[in-house]
A and B are shown apart, each in its own frame.
Chain A
Amino acid sequence: DAKTTQPPSMDCAEGRAANLPCNHSTISGNEYVYWYRQIHSQGPQYIIHGLKNNETNEMASLIITEDRKSSTLILPHATLRDTAVYYCIVIGGATNKLIFGTGTLLAVQP
């Protein structure tokens, strides 16, 4: 079973920041938070991952709370091409398989 909870859908205006929340209150100390996205009818795409510290790459930023029970994926300037289902996945330790939950459908509006 997925260990994360995400809102089913969100809207964002083009050019604005998209903030996608994820709850993972049962995360263990050696488990990572990974974010993937799936554009319609394509394979998932890796976005970013983190353990404790906040992370940033060319695609997004990941903010993890100090207690590690939740995180937020930030797309700083959303474009129409960012419309996709975003999955937050906890993995590591004894878990070495990506188990996808229902994710958040982000709709970027023009």
Chain B
Amino acid sequence: GAVVSQHPSRVICKSGTSVKIECRSLDFQATTMFWYRQFPKQSLMLMATSNEGSKATYEQGVEKDKFLINHASLTLSTLTVTSAHPEDSSFYICSARGLAGGPGEQFFGPGTRLTVL
């Protein structure tokens, strides 16, 4: 199957700093990428949807100025958590969808665990 990578896999930062997470589709072109957040013992929560070359569409309640998403190419999307605070500590997961496949066929990255001190 298609492979999606995320970098870094784990990051610890100080409160007030910004953190960038990369999501790459390694062997296919991702026309759409998605970013999810997952708190301990909870389900995944969709944060935003991004199409290559377009502005991301954020889900209700997600601050677009805090979670900056860039989808500059068909294989790379980045999520930047700006001025991170301890409540932003979470497991961030990206997924990618190509041109082929059904509407729900998404390939997920392994996730990035963010800890804000």
Contacts and interface: CB of A to CB of B under 8 A. Distances in A.
Task: Assign chain A's interface to a size class.
Answer: 20 to 34
A49 B108 contact: no
B95 interface: yes
Contact of A98 (B1, B46, B109, B113): B46
Contacts of A91: 103-104
A45 B104 contact: no
Contact of B102 (A32, A41, A42, A100): A32
A87 B104 CA distance: 12
Contacts, number: 59
A49 B43 contact: no
Interface in A79-110: 85, 87, 89, 91-92, 95-103
Interface residues of B, number: 24
Interface in A55-96: 85, 87, 89, 91-92, 95-96
A92 B1 CA distance: 22
A100 B43 contact: yes
A70 to B, nearest CB: 18
B33 to A, nearest CB: 12
Interface of B: 1, 4, 6, 34, 36, 43-46, 49, 91, 93, 95, 102-111, 113
Closest 10 pairs between A and B when the two form their complex, measured CB to CB: A43-B108, A34-B104, A91-B104, A100-B44, A100-B43, A44-B108, A92-B103, A43-B93, A43-B110, A43-B111
Interface of A: 32, 34, 38, 41-46, 49, 85, 87, 89, 91-92, 95-103
